[in-house]
């Protein structure tokens, strides 16, 4: 591979800085993609520009001086179209004083404001123009991420543009496309060399999208190869245990189903049947069970777990919070009251040493069949006799290392990951292509829809009166806050600042309780237990109740500053009510500062109770964000692919690899191919 030093485009000092940045050869540089573009094909007319517009223009510095006042600042005046634009800097004054001398011509990008009767920009982006401007003016111009170290070495976007242009001209013929022309055409994408040319030097912004689509496909191709590789590697492992063939009449899971006061849904039955088929395979399976709020996925997991327990194989369920772990333990214990011989243990972080030792001894001997816990399950002192099924609840909250640490405690165990936050199909294929997908959409019969409404903060007195009415009927309520303490600006509702007011002024005759993340485990447990027992009528809380809390008598949930939450999180919170026979309500109370994006999310909440629909909407609005758990999948981010735009390519990439063994072999055999994926880079000829 041709090193950057061999190209003669950079000084020795610059090469050292680029090397530290991970840019060592021409391939690395070609895949150092622009972070954004500015359009210099259009002439900016300041006569029609409005304040608040983000603009780019080229002008000449006519004056630059440091102004002393309450706060020292540098003001540089730029002449453009017979207008004067003031550039204002409060930081980096020595640096900008040096580069913005009178007569300097540069491109300036920023938000147009007004300062003392002049157009102004505060700390604009600057690119000094000189010499041959054919690469830098009158075009769509790429801007690259420039670190402080790069600035010190005089590595600007301009310098990178010139180097990349020269490299493409000199070495462009070495670019070797791993996709045939026919394949690229069938997928509606362009060849690799053309994509690299257009992504750095587009004629239009449409060119950028065409180029990024090809590069996104290649990135997803690598990721799909990694998923397929994981799946096939797992299928080569011989499972060290097998489940006993137990007569349905004697099966504990069937006996439990018969004893339930309700019938399983069709989706639950299908999920249980499919999991049973997977469990019979000769290799350890991996599955992702997606279920909407209230769809009964936890019961499916328990019924599946009983098959292992009946075969004298241990099952471990890991939950992300102690509240959720305790909820599962209590739920399972209630369901299994007719089977007292089944030993269960709850393993948490803060326990008496003697109690923990006793539990660890039972687990190590195999006396305990079902072990429920948090991260405490992966501590070194936890030893299993025969762990054969690992259940990970709310799997996106765990890192891949934590899941692997629990899996390693068993002998080739099966893995069942669960999530109550549905994942859009494009994300599922891209991120969890190594897991069997099982979806439960259907909800138990008789569940009443939660009546979701939105009110302004000025309507809070009316909302509180409505809560009083339902408390008089014997119901309970949640009031959820986005933060525990008031922020410095004081512009968001906070739990601690409101609690005393709620307790002493608004609901003085009611029993209020407090629940948030800074409480100790015992304090959280006591608060939740009192709420379940009805000793607390109004639980004032943060999002610690987002998952796992099941209080059928709670029928009202008020969510303050609702626009601060993602759609999936709002849906999870809403799922804490509507769990009993009574009509329930979810009241969204946004702040007066709600943005257009926030309004879009809350509008979707009012429109639908379908978690899969809301997950897709959340994805479209916010992107991957917290929804995807990309870090949990083994990479920090997709560098090129935006699954909102390129989601359809995830399935295309996977299908291509499965149908083209030669291509897949080429991809997976590439040196450091997983590392290439993480860097957002693709094959390049030596």
pLDDT of residue 323 exceeding 70 = yes
Report the distance separating Cα 586 and Cα 448, nearest Å: 13
Spatial CB neighbours of 436, under 8 Å, sequence gap ≥ 6: 274, 278, 285, 286, 287, 288
Query: 234-292: per-residue pLDDT in tens?
Result: 899 999 888 988 888 888 999 999 999 889 999 999 999 999 999 999 999 999 999 88
- Give 182-225 as a 3 state SS string: HHHHHCCCCCHHHHHHHHHCCCCHHHHHHHHHHHHHHHHHHHHH
Query: 404-440: per-residue pLDDT in tens?
Result: 889 899 989 999 999 877 777 667 766 677 889 899 9
pLDDT of residue 672 exceeding 70 = no
Q: Which residues pair with 115 in a beta bridge?
A: 118
pLDDT the model gives residue 628: 39
- Biggest CA-to-CA distance, the chain: 92
Pick from 239-243, 321-325, 543-547, 587-591: least confident: 543-547
Name the nearest CA neighbour of 121 among 75, 87, 78, 73: 87
Report the distance separating Cα 650 and Cα 646, nearest Å: 7
**What single DSSP character describes residue 25?**
B
Q: Which residues pair with 540 in a beta bridge?
A: 479, 514
Query: 107-150: per-residue pLDDT in tens?
Result: 888 888 887 777 899 988 887 776 555 555 567 888 898 888 89
pLDDT the model gives residue 397: 72
Q: Is the pTM of this model over 0.85?
A: no
Q: List, in sequence order, every beta strand (DSSP E) within 116-244.
A: 118-122, 125-128, 140-143
95 and 80 Cβ atoms separated by less than 8 Å = no
Q: Which residues pair with 316 in a beta bridge?
A: 371, 390
Structure tokens at 605: 């909440």
pLDDT the model gives residue 606: 95
195 and 133 Cβ atoms separated by less than 8 Å = no
Q: Which residues pair with 286 in a beta bridge?
A: 415
pLDDT of residue 678 exceeding 50 = no
Position 10 confidence tier, pLDDT thresholds 50, 70, 90:
very high
Report the distance separating Cα 391 and Cα 408, nearest Å: 13
Q: In what order do the strands lie in the sheet with 344-347?
A: 344-347, 370-373, 314-318, 387-392, 414-419, 286-291, 436-440
Question: What is the Cβ-side half-sphere exposure of residue 660, based on CA atoms within 13 angstroms?
Answer: 18
511 and 536 Cβ atoms separated by less than 8 Å = yes
Structure tokens at 467: 């809560």
Decide if 42-137 and 252-440 have a common fold.
no
Most confident segment among 93-97, 218-222, 288-292, 465-469: 465-469
76 and 87 Cβ atoms separated by less than 8 Å = yes
pLDDT the model gives residue 230: 82
pLDDT the model gives residue 614: 87
Name the nearest CA neighbour of 135 among 45, 40, 29, 210: 40
Structure tokens at 111: 């938000």
Report, as an integer, the average pLDDT of 361-381.
Answer: 94
Percentage of the chain modeled with pLDDT above 90: 44
Q: Which CATH architecture has domain 42-137?
A: Beta Barrel (2.40)
Report the distance separating Cα 197 and Cα 295, nearest Å: 50
Every domain of the chain and the residues it spans: 42-137, 182-235+649-679, 252-440, 451-608
Structure tokens at 297: 């996925």
CATH number belonging to domain 252-440: 3.40.50.300
Report, as an integer, the average pLDDT of 164-193.
Answer: 91
Report the distance separating Cα 638 and Cα 623, nearest Å: 11
pLDDT the model gives residue 285: 93
Dihedral angle sign, alpha carbons of residues 594, 599, 603, 604: negative
The phi, psi pair for 451, rounded to 5°, reads -75, 110
Q: Under CATH, domain 451-608 is a member of which superfamily?
A: P-loop containing nucleotide triphosphate hydrolases (3.40.50.300)
Name the nearest CA neighbour of 632 among 427, 445, 465, 441: 427
Structure tokens at 321: 């919070």
């Amino acid at each position: 591979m041709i090193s950057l030093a061999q190209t003669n485009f950079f000084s020795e000092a610059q090469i050292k800085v680029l090397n530290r940045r991970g840019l060592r050869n021409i391939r690395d540089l070609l895949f150092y993609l622009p972070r954004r573009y500015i359009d210099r094909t259009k002439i900016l007319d300041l006569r029609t520009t409005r304040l608040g517009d983000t603009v780019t223009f080229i002008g000449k510095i006519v004056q630059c001086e440091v102004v002393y006042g309450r706060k020292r600042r540098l003001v540089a005046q730029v002449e453009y179209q017979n207008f004067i634009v003031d550039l204002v800097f409060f930081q980096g004054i020595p640096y900008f004083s040096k580069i913005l001398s009178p007569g300097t011509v540069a491109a300036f990008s920023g938000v147009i404001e007004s300062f003392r009767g002049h157009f102004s920009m505060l700390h604009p982006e600057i690119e000094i123009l000189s010499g041959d401007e054919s690469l830098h003016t009158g075009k769509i111009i790429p801007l690259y991420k420039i670190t402080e170290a790069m600035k010190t070495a005089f590595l600007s976007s301009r310098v990178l543009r010139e180097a990349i242009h020269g490299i493409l001209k000199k070495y462009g013929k070495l670019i070797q496309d791993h996709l045939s022309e026919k394949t690229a055409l069938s997928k509606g994408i362009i060849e690799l060399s053309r994509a690299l040319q257009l992504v750095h030097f587009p004629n239009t912004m449409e060119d950028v999208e065409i180029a990024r689509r090809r590069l996104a496909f290649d990135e997803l191709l690598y990721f799909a190869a990694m998923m397929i590789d994981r799946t096939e590697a797992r299928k080569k492992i011989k499972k060290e245990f097998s489940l006993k063939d137990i007569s349905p009449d004697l099966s504990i899971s069937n006996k439990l189903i018969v004893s339930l006061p309700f019938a399983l849904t069709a989706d639950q039955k299908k999920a249980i049947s499919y999991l049973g088929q997977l469990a019979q395979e000769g290799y350890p399976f991996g599955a992702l069970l997606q279920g909407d709020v209230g769809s009964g996925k936890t019961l499916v997991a328990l019924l599946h777990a009983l098959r292992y327990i009946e075969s004298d194989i241990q099952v471990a369920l890991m939950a992300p919070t102690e509240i959720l772990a305790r909820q599962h333990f209590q739920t399972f214990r209630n369901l299994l009251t007719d089977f007292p011989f089944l030993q269960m243990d709850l393993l948490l972080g803060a326990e008496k040493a003697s109690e923990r030792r006793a539990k660890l001894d039972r687990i190590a001997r195999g006396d305990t069949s079902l072990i429920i816990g948090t991260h405490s399950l992966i501590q070194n002192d936890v030893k299993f006799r025969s762990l054969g099924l690992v259940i990970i609840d709310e799997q996106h909250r765990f890192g891949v290392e934590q899941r692997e640490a629990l899996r390693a405690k068993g002998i080739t165990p099966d893995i069942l990951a669960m999530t109550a936050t549905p994942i859009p199909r494009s994300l599922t294929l891209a991120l969890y292509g190594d897991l069997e997908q099982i979806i439960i959409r259907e909800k138990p019969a008789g569940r009443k829809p939660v009546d979701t409404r939105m009110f302004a903060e000025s309507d809070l007195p009316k909302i509180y009166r409505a809560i009083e009415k339902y408390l008089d009927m014997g119901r309970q309520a949640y009031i959820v806050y986005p933060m525990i303490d008031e922020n410095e600006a004081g512009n968001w509702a906070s739990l601690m600042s409101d609690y005393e007011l709620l307790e002493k002024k608004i609901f003085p005759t009611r029993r209020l309780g407090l629940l948030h993340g800074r409480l100790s485990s015992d304090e959280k447990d006591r608060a939740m237990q009192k709420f379940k027992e009805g000793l607390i009528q109004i639980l004032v809380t943060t999002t610690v109740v987002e998952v796992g809390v099941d209080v059928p008598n709670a029928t009202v949930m008020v969510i303050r500053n609702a626009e601060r939450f993602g759609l999936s999180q709002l849906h999870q919170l809403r799922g804490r009510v509507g769990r009993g026979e009574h009509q329930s309500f979810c009241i969204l109370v946004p702040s007066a500062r709600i943005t257009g994006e926030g309004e879009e999310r809350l509008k979707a909440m009012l429109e639908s109770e379908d978690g899969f629909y809301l997950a897709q909407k959340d994805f479209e609005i916010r992107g991957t964000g917290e929804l995807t758990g990309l870090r949990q999948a083994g990479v920090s981010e997709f560098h090129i692919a935006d699954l909102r735009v390129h989601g359809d390519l995830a399935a295309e990439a996977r299908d291509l690899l499965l149908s083209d063994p030669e291509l897949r072999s080429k991809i997976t055999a590439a040196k450091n191919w997983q590392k290439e994926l993480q860097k957002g880079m693709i094959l390049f000829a030596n």
